[in-house]
């Protein structure tokens, strides 16, 4: 174990603070791909978040008012109803129903036009898949800072 040193930023104490960046946050993950839901949930739960993951926009809309997440992470390309449609419906909800929840579009579509489209639809951030775990945690934390 490395002794604490205020001049050294890589002490155990600092590592624990970084690991717990998302402690207590409620995150709703929407992705039709089971492996993606598992990966995102595992990364965020490993950093202290309480994650609920669903496979469709319809499930997310029914769950949103009672779960009241601090952050919504949504895939764009989903069957039946895509992430753009979901975020537009979310933004039509009242604040009490979850309409103001900060949201991240997590998608394989990484072009600048897709980013602009996601932001225009109501997302606060756009992140390309596959996403590095540290980047995912930082994006979620930054939404709330």
Return the beta strands (E) in the chain as ranges. 26-30, 50-54, 71-75, 103-107, 125-128
Count CB-CB contacts under 10 A for residue 55: 17
CA separation, residue 113 to residues 7, 21, 31, 126 (Å): 44, 31, 21, 11
Write down the pLDDT at residue 52: 98
Give the start-to-end residue ranges of the domains of the chain. 22-143
Question: Which regions of the chain are under pLDDT 70?
Answer: 1-19
CATH architecture of structural domain 22-143: 3-Layer(aba) Sandwich (3.40)
pTM, two decimals, is 0.85
- CA 45 to chain CA centroid, nearest Å: 11
**Beta-strand pair 125-128/103-107:** parallel
Identify whether the C-beta of residue 29 lies closer than 8 Å to the C-beta of residue 119. no
Write down the pLDDT at residue 19: 52
Burial 126-145 (b: 16+ CB within 10 A, else e): bbebebeeeebbebbbebee
Rounded-to-integer distance, Cα 106 and Cα 98, Å: 19
Cis peptide before 34 (omega within 30 of 0): no
């Amino acid at each position: 174990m490395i002794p604490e040193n205020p001049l050294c930023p890589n002490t155990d104490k600092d590592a624990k603070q970084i690991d717990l960046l998302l402690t207590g946050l409620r995150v709703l993950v929407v992705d039709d791909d089971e492996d993606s839901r598992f990966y995102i949930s595992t990364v965020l739960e490993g950093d202290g978040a309480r994650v609920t993951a669903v496979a469709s926009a319809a499930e997310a809309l029914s769950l949103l008012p009672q779960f009241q997440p601090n952050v919504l992470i949504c895939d764009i390309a989903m069957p039946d109803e895509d992430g753009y449609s979901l975020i537009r419906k979310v933004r039509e909800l009242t604040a009490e129903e979850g309409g103001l929840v900060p949201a991240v579009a997590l998608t394989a579509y990484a072009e600048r036009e897709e980013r602009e489209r996601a932001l225009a639809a109501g997302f606060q951030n756009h992140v390309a898949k596959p996403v590095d775990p540290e980047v995912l945690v930082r994006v979620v934390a930054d939404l709330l800072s």
